[in-house]
Amino acid sequence: MSDGQGGASRPESRPRPGAARILSAARFRVILRSPSARITNQSLLVALVLVFGTGVATVATGSPSERWAAIIHGVAGMAILLLIPWKSRVVRAGLRRARRSRWASLLLAALIVTTLIAGLGSATGLMRSVDGKPALWIHIAVALALVPLALWHILARRIRPRRSDLSRRTFLRAGLLGAGAAGLYFAAAGAVRLGGLSGAGRRFTGSYETGSFYPDAMPDTVWLEDPVPAIDPDRWQLTVVDDAGRYELKLGDLLAFDTRLRATLDCTSGWYARQDWSGVPVSTLLRGSGQARSLLVHSVSGYWIRLPVRDVNRLLLATRVGGAPLSAGHGYPLRLVAPGRRGYWWVKWVDRIELQTTPWWWQPPFPVT
């Protein structure tokens, strides 16, 4: 075929066999290469924010339908583990600068490693407790303790966004990191099950079964170490405030009810127990809800919680557990049973329930009293 100038045309250029494959492999190696300190720090920040947010959600949830938060929490934790080799290069370079604030940064790193070790130890069952404290409790406590340091570090080492941060390579690297973290999470979960470790028997919240159907063996954990109040059953009374007004009930009035409910009490300190509770449904005591948006449940100790009014039909005020009266440590004479919610919602030593127009979420995310 002529090239239009009377000469023969040159053959079309074709890629050498395997060249495309070699090029793809080269690009893949570039993506896996240790990223810049800037990208490493940004990736770690995203992972830390994600692991903290899902950690809070996991502590708050008690319903199996919300277990996704715990799964994402675990995957984000694995992402932090995968980032450690990259971050260690950044740390070594930073230490050579001999900044005065380096000790605070090293303390932050130590706290992050501690909470990771405690979380992994609790999840696998290899470290259920440390000096009598549940490993899960240590995991949560250390995570909360590092928040102020993390905020300081973010402000002191502020990273200004650049357009290049949203490059194709960055997204590919993030995708690989996420896929690797997810793979590592599910591989570790499988290894725990195949290895017969006690972590395989945890509830999705991370809690271990303790004392199910044996109330005397169930821990009597108290929120923020509140003392168990001494209550005179002859003087105690329950105040009910609803749309129709206010009235009081004595313990004898409540003992006449024997509605039974099997529910799981899942404590944020790392244990759970299934029990048969009996008492009076909250809906039975409320004569009308009117424009109420929440139900406030108050304790003799001063502790309180506010629940959505839509939950009223699911709530029970228990006077007995396992067919026996509540013990003082478990809330005698009356405690709230809130199926699908964590233990801090299950108010002990209840002395007042009150319908309110205040939204249920108008309260601290976790009780402080």
Of the candidates 228, 236, 231, the residue with the CA atom closest to the CA atom of residue 329: 228
- Confidence check: pLDDT of 2 > 50: no
pTM: 0.84
Q: Which residue has the higher pLDDT, 65 or 338?
A: 338
Q: Summarize the confidence of residues 120-128 as an average pLDDT.
A: 96
Show the tokens assigned to 65. 């339908």
The pLDDT, as a whole number, for residue 362 is 95
* pLDDT at position 34: 63
What pLDDT, in 10s, does the model give residues 31-64? Answer: 556 678 888 889 999 999 999 999 999 998 888 8
Whether the CA torsion 208, 347, 305, 354 is positive or negative: it is positive
Q: Mind listing the pLDDT tens digit for each residue in 201-221?
A: 999 999 999 999 999 999 987
Instruction: DSSP for 56-70, please give it.
Output: HHHHHB--GGGTHHH
For residues 257 and 240, give the distance between their C-alpha atoms in angstroms, rounded to a whole number: 16
Question: Does a cis peptide bond (omega within 30 degrees of 0) precede residue 15?
Answer: no
Q: Are 176 and 32 contacting, i.e. CB atoms less than 8 angstroms apart?
A: yes
Q: Does the structure show a pLDDT above 60 at 111? A: yes
